[in-house]
Amino acid sequence: MRNTFIKKLIAAAEINSKIILMVGDLGYSVIEEFQEKFPDRFYNAGISEQNMASMAAGLAFEGFHVFIYSIANFPTFRCAEQLRNDVGYHQLSVTVVTVGGGLSYGNLGYSHHAVQDLGLMRLFPEFDIVSPGDPIETEMCMDYILNNKGPSYLRLKKAGEPNYHTHVKNIVPGIWSEVNESKNNKIFLTTSGGLHLAQLLKNGSSAYSDYGVYTCPVWGAKFKHLQQHQIDRFGEIITVEDHLLDCGFGSWVRESITVQESHLKIKNKALSQDVIGKVGSEEYLLKIGGLL
């Protein structure tokens, strides 16, 4: 996903001189080509995420679209106040790009486990949550971000993710996208790494083999009103995410319900709190968290 991101960003920067990339002393082996091609539009803010967010806000106020890039918890939790007050409040075109969503950096420990980031970022109503599930969807999400001004949060996994989409298509924010057709009016509804987990569930159990798989790659507070009519289409919906249940994607879906009976058709698969403080591979932690 991160390779798809940087390729799309470089291609966009070649035709749009207002695109800037900032990093927090991270991203090397990924961002060098951008740095070499556009040295006057690349900044390393150092290990100072609060300053990076405020610098990005200042540049965006002057008409730039600024992408700030780091490992998931660092440009979110460390600078939440700056994202809230400097970026969100002023509706500025700053995209917070994080790599390592969920438990991608499992072996680096709890400081690097992004299992509460969606909960934080969706508290800021101005931000679009943009959380692709595979490299093709990452390309679709970048097209959306580049064509829509304002604050956004792009949550990426790490590298080597398989593709489940077959082609690039336009994303409509808040609208679910079909990946696999349902044969029984029941679906998995996913975002971010939940797409891969839903495929494992679907392919690993006959109980789920007829389920469809849908993604919601762009969501957030602004798009809750679009959910009820989509919920009404299906008899059972299981949300899947690589995030704690509290304040995550499944919680957002439930908060979007306006017809109370709909709660009966929605189930949630998310990480349990047992995963907190554990260290190991992503697969090992997903098992502890109850998703594998």
Domain enclosing residue 24, as ranges: 2-155
Same domain, 91 and 207: no
Mean pLDDT over all residues of the chain?
96
Same domain, 148 and 206: no
Distances in whole angstroms, Cα of residue 49 to Cα of each of 123, 141, 245, 250: 19, 24, 27, 29
Same domain, 25 and 140: yes
Residue 23 lies in a domain: yes
Residue 146 pLDDT class (50, 70, 90 cuts)? very high
Residue 168 lies in a domain: no
Same domain, 70 and 106: yes
Per-residue confidence (pLDDT) for residue 159, from 0 to 100: 78
What is the separation of C-alpha 10 from the centre of its chain, rounded to a whole number of angstroms? 20
Q: How many CA atoms lie within 13 A of 242 on its CB side?
A: 28
Q: What is the rounded average pLDDT of the residues 89-115?
A: 96
Is the pLDDT at 27 greater than 90? The verdict is no
DSSP assignment, residue 83?
Answer: I
pLDDT tens readout for residues 98-108: 999 999 999 99
Same domain, 121 and 209: no
pLDDT tens readout for residues 117-136: 999 999 999 999 999 999 99
CATH of the domain at 233: 3.40.50.920
> Pick from 123, 155, 187: which residue ends a domain?
155
Residue 148 pLDDT class (50, 70, 90 cuts)? very high
Residue 163 lies in a domain: no
Same domain, 219 and 142: no
Residue 240 pLDDT class (50, 70, 90 cuts)? very high
Residue 222 lies in a domain: yes
Judge contact between 161 and 196, C-beta under 8 A: yes
Number of structural domains the chain divides into: 2
